[in-house]
Amino acid sequence: MYLKDLSQIYGASGNEESVKKYIKDVVKKTGKIDYIKEDHLGNLMCFKKGKIQKKTLVVMAHMDEVGLMITKIEEDGRLNVSPVGGVDPRVLIGKRVVVGEKNIDGVIPYKAIHLQKKDYKKIPDWDDIKVDIGAKDKKDAESKVNLGDFCHFRTFFEEYENRYVGKAFDDRAGCSIMLETLEAMDDLPVYNIVFAFVVQEENGLRGSGAVLKHFHPDAALIIEGTTAGDNPELKRERWSTHLDNGPAISYLQSMHVIDRRLFNAIVETAESIKIPYQIKGRTVGGTDAGRLARSFYGVPGAVVSVPARYIHSPVSVMSKEDYNHTGKLVKELVLTGNYLKVLEV
């Protein structure tokens, strides 16, 4: 399993190089890929020729995570930041971060409760969010960081009885499952496969569409980390997914109606190998499946996700069983050719 290593690498949207280097090294060591291709955006595409070369499947996960970027250095040396991807400022208060290429330690402070006048009832504005790196003043801070430097959550991966805890499970979980699937290839797959590790999904699905022009695939399977809505304060009808109920299968997203043939293939495969699965309960949010459907000539795709609580925050919680069942489902779909067979006329 590569999840621990991938989770702890820093790689916000537009800063995926360290993640890509790790993945590329793993792929090369497996010796199971015919060739690796990179494009100008930073996407990493790993091609494996199949027994039947008339069809090509793209299996895709994004390498980036949400984060912050330095936008101003105050006179007192504190740093103003803006979100890179969807970040709620409420999850940042009191958290530790690293800043810039040297990963300088910092904290995100907030006014002490003794000094507040009902401030605790207010959602912080981004103007209220500062990063303190211990600089004496602006000049001292400028000697250590620059405008445009990335700021990442400083979170360490932990493992409990049936839980993984860490950052960036959206979508390092997908990247890890793809590496495990690639590693599991003992023979030629039925069809050509492109394992595409893409950039800048969290910043507006920017990278994935470019993959299509390189390989002209017939279908795509997106592997994601998705929201688990089983918080006690939420009504059950608002739950998106639930930990320990298996991989989540989407039928509709804000940008995309999932191809019914591919959706059915995923459900039938999960039932045939006797693993639990759940249909994702809420349709908000988008994935690279939506981008692929409206890019180039349009490619049908579907999404299999690992539920995780508190995604897009400094710490997420994932079920080990959900992760393992998702990996088993993806291997069965991809390596047997079952996923693409449903598109044959």
Specify the pairing of strand 96-99 against strand 104-107: antiparallel
Instruction: Please answer whether residues 320 and 306 qualify as being in contact, where contact means their C-beta atoms are separated by less than 8 angstroms.
Output: no
First to last CA, the chain: 37
Judge residue 282's burial from the number of C-beta atoms within 10 Å of its C-beta, 0-12 exposed, 13-18 middle, 19 or more buried. Answer: middle
The CA distances from residue 187 to 53, 183, 217, in Å, are 15, 11, 21
Dist CA 82 CA 59 (whole Å): 32
The CA dihedral of 314, 320, 292, 263, to the nearest 10 degrees, is -140
CA 164 to chain centre: 15
Q: How far is CA 51 from CA 60, 192, 227, 315, 337, in A?
A: 21, 8, 37, 42, 10
At how many degrees (to 10) do helices 169-183 and 17-30 cross? 10
Q: Is the C-alpha dihedral spanning 19, 25, 27, 30 positive or negative?
A: negative
- CA dist., res. 190 & res. 185, Å (int): 11
Nearest to 213, CA basis, from 43, 328, 16: 43
Question: Which of 180, 201, 202, 332 is the catalytic position?
Answer: 201
User: How many CB atoms within 10 Å of residue 18?
Assistant: 12
335-339: Cβ within 8 A, 24+ apart: 335/181, 335/184, 335/185, 335/189, 335/190, 336/190, 337/50, 337/52, 337/189, 337/190, 337/191, 338/265, 338/269, 339/57, 339/219, 339/221, 339/262, 339/265, 339/266, 339/269
Our answer to whether residue 332 is catalytic in this structure is no
The residues that are catalytic are 201
